[in-house]
Chain A
Amino acid sequence: MSLPSRFFLVGFTAGTAFLSGCATDAGVRQPSGVPVTEMRPDERGFVAGTGIESQDLVSVTDKMARSILGIPQIARAQTPPSVVLDPVVNNTRFPINKDIFLTRLRTQLNSKAAGQVSFIDRELMKSLERERDLKRNGQVTASADPNVVEFAGADYFLTGKLDGMTTKTSAGMSDYVLYSFRLTDARTSRIVWEDVAEIKKQGLEDAAYR
Chain B
Amino acid sequence: MVRLGSAGAEVTRQRVVTLLRHVVRAFSCFRPMNLSLRPASRATATTAVLAVACLAWAGCVTVDEPSRAAPRTPAVSEPAPTPTPPAPSAADRAMAKAERDRVLHAYRAATEALRAGDFAAAKAKLDEAIVRIGGIIANDADAARARSLFSAESTKTFIGEPYERVMAYYYRGMLYWRDGEIDNARACFRSGQVIDSDPNAKQHDADYVLLDYLEGLATAKLGGDGSDAVKRAQARLSSRAVLPNPNLTANVLVFAEYGYGPRKVAAGPHGEQLRFVADESPSRSARLLLDEGRRIVPLPSYDDLGFQATTRGGRVMDHILGNKAVFKTGANAVGDLAFAGSVIAADESRRRKRENKDNDAADAAAVGLGVVGLIGKIASAAANPVADTRQWDALPQHLSFAALQLAPGDYMGKLEFLDRDGAVLAQRTQPLRISVQSGGRDTVVFLSEL
CA distance A4 to B185 in the complex (A): 73
Name the residue of chain A whose CB is nearest to the CB of B367. Answer: A8
> Which listed residue (B26, B63, B183, B185) contacts A8, Cβ 8 A?
B26
**Chain B neighbourhood of A103, CB < 8 A:** none
A160 within 8 A of B: no
Q: Which of B136, B181, B324 contacts A205 (CB 8 A)?
A: B136
CB distance from A164 to the nearest CB of B (A): 8
Known: A2-B361, A36-B136, A91-B183. A25 touches B320 (CB 8 A): yes
Interface residue from B23, B63, B366 paired with A31 (Cβ < 8 Å): B63
List the 10 closest A-B pairs by CB distance, nearest first: A33-B138, A4-B365, A20-B59, A93-B190, A203-B136, A9-B26, A22-B60, A19-B56, A210-B316, A206-B143
Contact check, B56 vs A34: say whether CB atoms are below 8 A apart. Answer: no
Pair B25/A1 contact, Cβ less than 8 Å: yes
From residue A30, how far is it (CB to closest CB) to chain B in Å? Answer: 9
Q: Does B271 contact A (CB under 8 A)?
A: no
Residue from A13, A21, A35, A208 within 8 A of B156 (CB atoms): A208
With A12-B23, A98-B184, A173-B136 already in contact, the answer to whether A4 and B372 are too (CB < 8 A) is no
A203–B181 CA distance with the chains assembled, in angstroms: 28
A9–B29 touching, CB < 8 Å: yes
By a CB distance below 8 angstroms, the chain A residues around B317 are 207-210
Alpha-carbon separation in the docked complex, A16 to B344 (Å): 21
> Taking beta carbons and an 8 Å cutoff, which residues of A are in contact with B?
1-5, 7-16, 18-28, 31-36, 50-51, 89-96, 98, 166, 168-170, 173, 203-210
Q: Is the CB of A24 within 8 A of B327?
A: yes
Distance, CA A192 to CA B191, complexed state (A): 34
A7, B191: Cβ atoms closer than 8 Å = no
> B22, B199, B323, B373: which contacts A4 (Cβ < 8 A)?
B22
Pick from B146, B199, B316, B321 the residue with the most CB of A within 10 Å: B316
Indicate if the CB atoms of B153 and A12 lie closer than 8 Å.
no
Sample 8 A-B pairs with CB under 8 A, ordered by A number.
A1-B25, A7-B369, A20-B55, A24-B62, A24-B324, A96-B187, A173-B194, A209-B143
Task: Using C-beta atoms within 8 Å of the partner chain, give the interface range for chain B.
Answer: 35 or more
Q: Is the pair B222, A15 in contact by a Cβ cutoff of 8 Å?
A: no
> CB distance B136 to A3 under 8 Å?
no
A34 adjacent to B199 (CB under 8 Å):
no
- By beta carbon, the residue of chain B nearest A20 is B59
| Cβ distance B434 to chain A, nearest Cβ, rounded Å | 26
Residues of A within 8 A of B184 (CB): 90, 95-96, 98
Contact B148 A24 (CB under 8 A): yes
Q: Given A14-B337, A22-B59, A208-B317, A8–B22 Cβ distance below 8 Å? A: yes
Verify A36–B138 contact, CB threshold 8 A.
Answer: yes
Q: Which of A2, A4, A203 has the most CB of B within 10 A?
A: A4
In the complex, given contacts A8-B369, A91-B186, what are 11 additional A-B residue pairs having Cβ atoms less than 8 angstroms apart?
A: A5-B25, A10-B341, A14-B334, A19-B379, A20-B56, A24-B62, A26-B323, A34-B138, A36-B135, A203-B138, A210-B315
**Are A31 and B147 neighbours in the complex by a CB distance under 8 Å?**
yes
Confirm or deny: B330 has a beta carbon within 8 angstroms of a beta carbon on chain A.
Answer: yes
Q: Do B139 and A35 touch (CB < 8 A)?
A: yes
- Is the pair A3, B176 in contact by a Cβ cutoff of 8 Å? no
Indicate the member of B19, B348, B369 with the most A CB atoms within 10 Å.
B369
A95-B147 in contact (CB<8A)? no
Cβ A22 vs Cβ B139 within 8 A? no
Question: B212 CB to closest chain A CB, in angstroms?
Answer: 13
Nearest neighbor of A168 in chain B, beta-carbon distance: B197
Q: Which of A19, A31, A35 has the most CB of B within 10 A?
A: A19
B31 to chain A, nearest CB (A): 13
The smallest beta-carbon distance between A208 and chain B, in angstroms, is: 4
- Of the candidates B148, B156, B194, the one having the most CB atoms from chain A within 10 angstroms of its own CB is B194
Q: Is B114 an interface residue (CB 8 A)?
A: no
Shortest A22–chain B CB gap in Å is: 4
* Interface contact B365-A204, CB-CB below 8 Å: no
Which residues on the A side are within 8 Å of B26 (C-beta)? 1, 5, 8-9, 12-13
The CA-CA distance from A12 to B199 in the complex, in Å, is: 44
Residue of A11, A33, A50 near B368 (CB, 8 A) is A11
> Which residues from chain A contact B139 at a C-beta distance below 8 Å?
32-33, 35, 206
Q: Which residues in window 113-149 of B have CB below 8 A to A? A: 130, 134-140, 143-144, 146-149
Partner of B323, one of A8, A20, A25: A25
What residues of chain A lie closer than 8 Å to B200, measured between beta carbons?
A: 170
Q: Is the CB of B187 within 8 A of A90?
A: yes
A90/B153 contact (C-beta < 8 A), A7-B344, A11-B337 known: no
